[in-house]
């Protein structure tokens, strides 16, 4: 399959999604904001629609929409109002509603395949997309590595972080922007409705096997990359949408690890009446 240029591009895009999604997702899961990526995917759809209607690169317009969405979400959260949930619902469903309505206004003759944006497709990644994805991936990886300790502190205990004088709001905004960037990197091969799965499931799988935060991040990144690359490869041979295939691989990994851990625990219990 590597003789096809579109497949080489799709595999590279898959590699970048596999790297970025878990390294951002780990902080979202820790803060119990696991589904925020899903919401930002909805918002990005409006950006895609604007791009299609105005014949601008959809990746760039999606990036703008998702970043604005992320900042608004974070500011609403920082206000800590009880109406936060409602505000998020308005933003998220406004995003997807705006997306489908704006797309319907595309000039006649434009072929619009929303499915590819929502659920991923292997044939859609352009060389221009790859360049944008590469820049965004480098930015996200540098950010999460360089500020990892700070993001950990804020996600682990936000009140303590505030009391120790850390710039909590700025760190939260950075994480929100990194999340929206990851959503955009995912939009070709994983799709805007499925990216959140890749931010959450590899983390859930990894934490069954690890006891430190750092090893969780490393293992989740490996698992995410494996699911992503395998999913794109399988979708080539099976002719399936790549996003769905990737997520099914990630879930298969989760199920296998859950079963293995259960078996291991049973064996341990049988061998020694554990002190714990």
Partner 1 sequence: MTGPTAPAPAVVSFRHADIGYEGRAVLHDLSLDITAGEVVGLLGPNGSGKSTLIRGLLGLAPILRGSVELFGIERSRFKAWQRVGYVPQRQTVVGGIPSTVREVVSSGRLTTVQPFRWMRAADKDAVAQAISAVGLTSEASSSMANLSGGQQRRVLIARALASAPEFLVLDEPTAGVDSFNQAALADTLAELAAAGTTILLITHELGPVEPLVTRTLVLRAGEICHDGPSSEAPDEHDDDWHHHHGDPPERSSGLGLSGLGT
Q: How far is the CB of 95 from partner 1 (least distance, A)?
A: 26
Identity of the residue, 159 or 239, whose beta carbon is nearer to partner 1 in the bound complex: 159
CB of 6 or CB of 213, closer to partner 1: 213
In the numeric block, the tokens 């317009």 are attached to 61
Q: Smaller CB distance to partner 1: residue 32 or 239? A: 32
11 vs 122: CA distance, rounded Å: 8
Q: How far is the CB of 194 from partner 1 (least distance, A)?
A: 21
What Cα–Cα distance (Å) separates residue 14 from each residue in 50, 102, 198?
25, 28, 11
**Who contacts 267 (Cβ-Cβ below 8 Å, separation ≥6)?**
none
- Report the chain's C-alpha Rg in angstroms: 19
Residues 34/184/253/121 CA torsion (nearest 10 deg): 140
Rounded to a whole number of angstroms, the minimum distance from the CB of residue 153 to partner 1 is 4
The span from the first CA to the last CA of the chain, in angstroms, equals: 51
CB of 152 to partner 1, least distance (A): 6
CA distance 69 to 246: 26
Cα 219 to Cα 115: distance, rounded to the nearest angstrom = 31
Residues that bind partner 1 (CB under 8 A): 26, 29-32, 146-147, 149-150, 152-153, 155-157, 159-166, 203, 207, 210-214, 216, 276
Closer to partner 1 at the Cβ: 210 or 240? 210
By beta-carbon proximity to partner 1, the closer residue of 222 and 248 is 222
Evaluated on CA atoms 180, 137, 158, 205, the torsion sign reads positive
Least separation, in Å, of the C-beta of 150 and partner 1? 6
List, as one string, the DSSP characters of 157-207. -HHHHHHTT--HHHHHHHHHHHHHHHHHHHTTTT-TTTHHHHHHHHHHHHT
CA distance linking residue 49 with residue 44, whole number of Å: 9
| Burial (CB count within 10 angstroms: exposed 0-12, middle 13-18, buried 19+), residue 2 | exposed
Least separation, in Å, of the C-beta of 216 and partner 1?
A: 5
Closer to partner 1 at the Cβ: 163 or 261? 163
- For partner 1, the closer of residues 113 and 265 by Cβ is 265
Q: How far is the CB of 166 from partner 1 (least distance, A)?
A: 6
């Amino acid at each position: 399959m590597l003789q096809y240029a579109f497949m080489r591009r799709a595999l590279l895009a898959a590699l970048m999604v596999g790297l970025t999604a878990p390294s951002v997702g780990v902080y979202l899961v820790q803060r119990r904001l696991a589904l925020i990526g899903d919401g930002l995917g909805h918002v990005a759809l409006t950006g895609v629609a604007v791009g299609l209607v105005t014949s601008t690169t959809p990746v760039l317009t999606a990036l703008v929409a998702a970043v604005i969405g992320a900042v608004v979400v974070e500011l609403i959260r920082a206000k800590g109002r009880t109406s936060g949930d409602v505000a998020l619902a308005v933003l998220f469903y406004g995003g997807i509603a705006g997306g489908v309505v704006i797309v319907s206004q595309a000039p006649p003759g434009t072929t619009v395949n929303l499915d590819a944006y929502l659920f991923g497709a292997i044939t859609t990644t352009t060389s221009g997309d790859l360049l944008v994805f590469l820049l965004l991936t480098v930015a996200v990886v540098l950010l999460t590595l360089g500020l990892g300790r700070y993001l950990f502190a804020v996600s682990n205990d936000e009140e303590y972080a505030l009391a120790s004088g850390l710039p909590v709001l700025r760190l939260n905004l950075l994480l929100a922007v990194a999340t929206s960037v990851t959503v955009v990197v995912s939009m070709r091969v994983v799709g805007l409705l499925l990216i959140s799965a890749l931010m959450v499931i590899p983390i859930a799988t990894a934490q069954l096997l690890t006891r430190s935060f750092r090893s969780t991040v490393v293992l989740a990144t490996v698992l995410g990359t494996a699911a992503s690359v395998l999913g794109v490869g399988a979708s080539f041979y099976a002719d399936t949408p790549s996003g769905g295939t990737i997520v099914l691989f990630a879930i298969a990994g989760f199920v296998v690890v859950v079963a293995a851990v259960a078996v291991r625990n049973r064996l341990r219990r049988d061998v020694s009446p554990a002190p714990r």
